[in-house]
Amino acid sequence: MRFFEYESRRIVELSGIPVTEYGFCTTAAQAREAAERIGGPVVIKSQVLTGGRMKAGGVKFADTPEEAEGHAAEILELEINGHMPRGVLVDPKAEVKQEYYAGVVWDGTAKRPLMLFSDMGGIDIEEVAEKHPDHVGRGHVSNLLPISDFEAKQTVAGAGVTGSQLNRATAVLARLARLFRERDMTLAEINPLAELEDGSFVALDAHMEMEDEAKPRQKPLLEGELEIAPEDTREPYEPSDFERNVKAIDSADHRGVIQGKDHGFTGNLGLVIGAGGGSLTLTDAVRSQGGKPANYAEIGGNPSVSKACGLAKQVLLKDGVEKIAVMMSIVSNTRVDIVARGVIKACLELDKDPAETIAIFRIPGAWEEEGFKILDRYGVEYCDRSVSMWEAAGRAVEKIQGATA
């Protein structure tokens, strides 16, 4: 889950890292008030969950509260990469002596958080790492032992920083690493971390992402401190009706799991497929053989007949879907007969002939004899494990191409 900048700033502030006084505003009038309160030149920043806002005109400077109000009004109406802003952040325009970068990410290979520090802040850290590797300090921290200041110090020193700056930056990076661990972040970045003219360090911009799996235990932060509503899930895009409906069917019944996605899929072959790895393999197999999937789906964990039926129905109700392919890797928990019943029921309830509508049924494994008997009764073409997932996908593609040719 990604946080807006104003939320990230609050998270940073809660961990004891200094930030400049800032105001989150949803109207131009509020922005004017914030600028008045701050006094002096301010910067107005669009609050969107996407990068590139500077280029898009989502960041503007103002010398007076009137100017701030005008800029805020424009930015509030400005769509960036398909995202409308949640509001604007009004921040004093700081007198910066030097910009730094402080970040913590997961290193999946080492299985530990990795601290990163650079004295070249304000730009993308990956770019700095590539072009100026000697300006990036790195250091892993333990998941079990307390995070000590010296670990942060080594990382800051690794970027070639010394003097009073080393000591100030160490305190910030150590707090950021502790925050990363305590708040279950997957990314915690302060960029730029600014050294002001008086030598103090403040976070001017922050970017935080939290692991979705940890949201239940981070409720006090999410709902308490940040007042984020539980339904505000921050998907990378607006879910479609198909996606919403499948989700609703899934949550209505605890038995098994179904998932459906159609963002980026526009084809005519509906996929009722599973499980995790099977779905990835089958989607590729359909595409590689010239098929155009209408959606992505996952069936797993032995869903009920009504759940399997619900997924198949939603796929069949999608615009342009003529046939569905029902395919899975060999199942040992999900029952073949239950999925067979579910997809046939979906066809019948929509007044469609299962034999015509189901291009292929390829689910081998638990209860397959029972499943195949049911499919026989309705004249649906099925196959067992002797037909590979690739071949089954190919047959489905052939059928739909034959139908539309």
Nearest approach, Cβ of 103 to other proteins (angstroms)? 14
**Closer residue to other proteins in complex, CB, 108/163:** 108
- List interacting residues with other proteins (CB under 8 A): 106, 108-109, 111-113, 142-144, 181, 184, 186, 211, 213-214, 216-217, 236, 261, 263-264, 274-281, 283-285, 287-288, 296, 298, 300, 328-333, 365-366, 385-386, 388-391
**Closer residue to other proteins in complex, CB, 113/158:** 113
Nearest approach, Cβ of 364 to other proteins (angstroms)? 8
Whether omega before 192 lies within 30 degrees of 0, making that bond cis, reads yes
Nearest approach, Cβ of 221 to other proteins (angstroms)? 14
What is the C-alpha to C-alpha distance for residues 99 and 89, in angstroms, rounded to an integer? 20
Question: Which residue do the tokens 């030097």 mark?
Answer: 98
Torsion of CA 307, 313, 319, 320, to 10 degrees: 110
**Closer residue to other proteins in complex, CB, 144/405:** 144
Nearest approach, Cβ of 145 to other proteins (angstroms)? 9
* Rounded CA Rg of the chain: 27
- How far the first Cα of the chain sits from its last, in Å, is 45
What is the C-alpha to C-alpha distance for residues 257 and 246, in angstroms, rounded to an integer? 10
Token output for 37 = 């309160």
Nearest approach, Cβ of 366 to other proteins (angstroms)? 6
Q: What is the DSSP letter of 55?
A: T
**Closer residue to other proteins in complex, CB, 36/398:** 398
Nearest approach, Cβ of 200 to other proteins (angstroms)? 31
Whether omega before 275 lies within 30 degrees of 0, making that bond cis, reads yes
Token output for 91 = 């921040």
Nearest approach, Cβ of 108 to other proteins (angstroms)? 5
Nearest approach, Cβ of 255 to other proteins (angstroms)? 10
Nearest approach, Cβ of 279 to other proteins (angstroms)? 6
CA angle 180–182–186, rounded 5-degree value: 35
Query: Within 13 A of 257's CA, how many CA atoms are on the CB side?
Result: 9
**Closer residue to other proteins in complex, CB, 47/218:** 218
Region label for 103, one of left (φ > 0), alpha (ψ between -120 and 50) or beta (otherwise): beta
What is the C-alpha to C-alpha distance for residues 88 and 22, in angstroms, rounded to an integer? 10
Nearest approach, Cβ of 242 to other proteins (angstroms)? 15
Helix residue ranges, H only, 260-388: 276-288, 305-316, 336-349, 354-357, 368-377
Return the bridge partners of 273, or none. 327
**Closer residue to other proteins in complex, CB, 218/357:** 218
Q: What is the DSSP letter of 70?
A: H
Q: Give buried/exposed letters for 219-252 (b at 16+ CB in 10 A, else e).
A: eebbeeebebeeeeeeeeeeebebbebbeebbee
Return the bridge partners of 88, or none. 25, 46
